[in-house]
Every structure is written in structure tokens, then in C-alpha cells.
Amino acid sequence: MTVTNAGQKSIHTLVVTVCGEDYAFQDIPVGGQRHLEYEGKGDSGFEIQGQFADGHVIKGNFGYVTTRSFPPVEVVIQEDGSVIGKQGSLPRSLTWGDCGARR
């Protein structure tokens, strides 16, 4: 999983939760990326929570993985704290309140 900071301020903390596991990222500069391996241990979407260096909240969710399928994922954090999620080659952009609803 790759996290990209597309905002104009650094990301202080970010946690991506998938399949009951938390994956923590810290201090991602403007335009920066961080990468961690993740494992699909069940059926789950991706939930993202964090904070920019100035305290602005980051929240979002997207996608779905199963035990047998956990494709490459990119989590793109936008300036307003929203999230664009990309699985494989299919981008999905959802806000926290969408709860996995398709747009």
C-alpha cells in the first residue's frame, strides 16, 4: 500500500485500517509517499484517519478486499483531508460519510 500526500501541508499522522489491522504512517512531506505491505486477512474496506501538521483532520474510506484478493493500493490524501483510493488501476474517491456507497 502506498500513501501519497497530494496536499499543501505535511501529514503528521495517518492510520489505514484494513481487515482489522492498523497500518501507521508518520511525517509525510508535501508531495511525499510512504509504502507498507498489507495483507488481506478477511473481507474489508479501507478506513483512513489522520491529521495534517496544522491539526486539520484527514478522514475517508474506500474499496474492498477479500482474503483471496488484495490488489496494489494507493491512498491519495487531498488538501481538504479527503481521500482518493486506487485499487489496481481503478480509482475510487469517497468521503467518510459514504460508507462504501458507489458514486
CA distance 79 to 68: 34
Residue 51's contacts (CB-CB under 8 Å, 6 or more residues apart) are 11, 12, 13, 14, 57, 58
* pLDDT tens profile 41-82: 778 889 999 999 999 999 999 887 776 665 788 999 999 999
Task: Tell me: pLDDT of 16 over 70.
Answer: yes
| Residue located via cell numbers 499522522 | 13
Task: Tell me: pLDDT of 102 over 50.
Answer: no
Count of beta carbons in the 10 Å neighbourhood of residue 75: 26
Total-model pTM: 0.79
The confidence score (pLDDT) of residue 89 equals 53
Give the H/E segment covering residue 47: strand 44-52
Which CATH superfamily groups domain 2-97? Domain of unknown function DUF5300 (2.60.40.2890)
* pLDDT tens profile 90-101: 444 433 333 333
Task: List the chain domain ranges.
Answer: 2-97
CA distance 81 to 40: 25
